[in-house]
Structure 1
Amino acid sequence: MRFPHVQRILTSLDRIHSYHCINEEADHIMLVGESGVGKSTLLAMYANKHPPIEHEEFTEVPVLYAALGPSPTPKTLAHTLLKALGDQKWYMGREIELSARLVFLIKQCHVRLVIIDEANHLIDRGGEKTLHTAADWIKRLVDATRVSFVLAGIPRTTRLLDTNDQLRDRFREVIEIERLSIDPKPAALEFCSALRTFKRYLKDLPTIDISSSDVTSLFAFATDGRLRDIRRLLVRAVELAYEQPSPKLTDLILAESFRQVIYPCAPDDRNPFHKTFDKTPLVRIGEPFASDKESK
């Protein structure tokens, strides 16, 4: 689905992916956004669009994508990237040996773009010393490989740049994927456009106009503007609609879908698709979008 903000990010990825100059520094991007806005889906899709190419003497990997697990260290980060490259001995060796092999294989496989997703786990692991170590390791990898990198994660990922001036100098471009919103007006129009795109996928299913301004406002309350939740809500709503004798996507179907996949046991006055909804954000304790320290 080519939403306007998605197209802008894809254009930036294409730009740094197409970079090729041995004697100049590559361009790099940090991509941040709260959980559920579509970062990982977008990046994985981009990597899948540029699959490995088998040559007679080597395997070319145009885009190397890897998502970090919890509590990574430079050594486990090297493990993750080597495994993604297809190295059969990704788990063998000391950190210095793993790093050297990683640099060699990135060059040998003609990697043009390295995407490190869930980079916020580098920050979650420990204190300032750990943070400095991780930032310095990435900086050295960037310098040694001379290919473009994308670091992606939730907003606090930018702390990596705060701890290392040289890394910050390399990742000058920070792109934020914001949640869809109904304020100000241009944002509301983009939200309506996104729902119009989803509506086209409903094909022959009779439906209320989910892209109208009134219903868009309800989706804003129900999903907090997160693409993952919009998709989840609509997928379940379509399933529920087709369970009816006369399939149709209605506000009642959306209300039930909301109760099933967004806010189980939601009171009617806290269900955006119920006529008694009180039209206040779902940010109270125990509600779906209560303040989450993990997303900051």
Structure 2
Amino acid sequence: MTNCNDTPAARRPPSNSRQRPGASGEDETSSELVATVRNTLIEHPAFALGISAIRRCHRMGRFGLEEPGCLLIMGVSGSGKSTLRKEYARHHSRRETDEATVIPVLHLELPAQPTIKNVAERILLALGDPLFARGSAEAMTARIVTLFRNCRVELVILDEFQHFIDHSREKVETKVADWLKHLINATRVPFVLMGLHRCQRILQSNEQLRRRFSRQITLEPFGVADRKARRIFDGLLRSIWGCLPVKCSPELSNGGDNVERIHFATYGLIGYVMTLVAASVEIVLEDGRPAIDRDVLAKAFSQSIWPEGRGCLNPFHPGFTNRPLTNSGEPFFGYKT
């Protein structure tokens, strides 16, 4: 992993070639190239901090402490929470032994309308329980405790935890907090919760649970407000341009006001940056363009991020008024809160 410094790095999946379709050797289709770009892992300071925090939580959890330390990771959509979860779990994959299936890191995304029972069901399914849908919430929870022990679960990562409160009442939130506290106590396995900032409300429902999750980090968007922040974001973009399977116009690699324009187009969020870049690569390949330039970025923005973002509402249009797209109806409305 990259150290927590000012130089982001892009790491492509190791199994993919960088050859263009039609070049010598094994050909790749345009779709495969775009998918490769979309799956490129961007290692940057906030990513390194998140991996380090999860690793610390995991390491301490192996001691089977009576009150394992847990972790809350917050950030708006597109800030990289899910990538963080999947990348950490990828290095701790399940394996089969003669005795059992060993699952050192159990990770899953919560359903859009979760209840204690359907979350317990989803955990049992991830654990491989063939009867995952059978029984009451209490019976399911008891099976989870047993399977955690049998599968040697060392860490649990639950993503989209804010779903628990999106349509809930205070009484429901209290029940969820009590259930989660019981599960942590019974298994002695640390949990990492990921979600939007409002998921903190669950922790406020239970003092003991709040104490367990005293360790909290936030994945912030990249900034351009000061020289240091702009240098980091510019370094991120340069790293991405350098690993793409298509050429980039010199106007992009030389920085200029394109750094600010890309920031307005993505709100500085890594997920949106990669969406914009992948769409740009697709346009270059399908339209036979010589390179990614400002016109390509303008088309990619309206195609992949905001269909209404045309003309002066497109950050890559000459008439765009430099401002965050956070007004009502715009792609990043509500992201300030």
Greater shift, 231-240 or 279-288, is seen at: 279-288
Tell me the equivalent position of 1:11: 52
Tell me the equivalent position of 2:148: 106
Cα shift at 1:265: 3.8
Tell me the equivalent position of 1:75: 117
Of 171, 187, 211, the match for 1:169: 211
1:192-207 residue pairs with structure 2 within 5 A?
Answer: 192-203=234-245, 205-207=247-249
Cα shift at 1:162: 1.2
Tell me the equivalent position of 1:235: 278
Asked whether the equivalents of residues 252 and 293 of structure 2 are also in contact (C-alpha less than 8 Å), the reply is no
Asked whether the equivalents of residues 64 and 189 of structure 2 are also in contact (C-alpha less than 8 Å), the reply is no
Asked whether the equivalents of residues 246 and 284 of structure 2 are also in contact (C-alpha less than 8 Å), the reply is no
1:101-180 residue pairs with structure 2 within 5 A?
Answer: 101-180=143-222
1:180 & 1:232 partners in 2: Cα distance? 15
Match of 2:192, SS state, is strand
Greater shift, 241-250 or 130-139, is seen at: 241-250
CA gap of 1:164–1:233, structure 2 versus 1, over 3 A, is same
Whether 2:225 is the aligned partner of 1:183: answer yes
Cα shift at 1:55: 0.8
Tell me the equivalent position of 1:2: 43
Unaligned runs of 5+ in 1: none
Cα shift at 1:204: 5.2
Tell me the equivalent position of 1:22: 64
Of 230, 245, 263, the match for 1:220: 263
Whether 2:319 is the aligned partner of 1:287: answer no
Match of 1:209, SS state, is helix
Which residue type is aligned with residue 250 of structure 1?
Answer: D
Asked whether the equivalents of residues 62 and 113 of structure 1 are also in contact (C-alpha less than 8 Å), the reply is yes
1:175-233 alpha-carbon deviations (Å, 9 max, x no partner): 11111111233322222222122112215513232572522111111011121211111
Greater shift, 277-286 or 242-251, is seen at: 242-251
Asked whether the equivalents of residues 242 and 248 of structure 1 are also in contact (C-alpha less than 8 Å), the reply is no
Which residue type is aligned with residue 58 of structure 2?
Answer: H
Match of 1:166, SS state, is helix
Cα shift at 1:281: 2.0
Which residue type is aligned with residue 242 of structure 1?
Answer: L
Asked whether the equivalents of residues 164 and 173 of structure 2 are also in contact (C-alpha less than 8 Å), the reply is yes
CA gap of 1:122–1:211, structure 2 versus 1, over 3 A, is farther
CA gap of 1:23–1:290, structure 2 versus 1, over 3 A, is closer
Provide the aligned C-alpha RMSD in A. Answer: 1.8
Cα shift at 1:263: 1.9
Tell me the equivalent position of 2:19: none
Asked whether the equivalents of residues 120 and 144 of structure 2 are also in contact (C-alpha less than 8 Å), the reply is yes
Which residue type is aligned with residue 242 of structure 2?
Answer: R
Tell me the equivalent position of 1:277: 320
Give the TM-score of the pair, scaled to structure 1: 0.93
Give the TM-score of the pair, scaled to structure 2: 0.83
1:32-51 residue pairs with structure 2 within 5 A?
Answer: 32-51=74-93
Asked whether the equivalents of residues 241 and 248 of structure 2 are also in contact (C-alpha less than 8 Å), the reply is no
Asked whether the equivalents of residues 31 and 177 of structure 1 are also in contact (C-alpha less than 8 Å), the reply is yes
Cα shift at 1:287: 1.8
Match of 1:82, SS state, is helix
Aligned length: 294
Asked whether the equivalents of residues 155 and 191 of structure 2 are also in contact (C-alpha less than 8 Å), the reply is yes
Unaligned runs of 5+ in 2: 1-41
Tell me the equivalent position of 1:88: 130
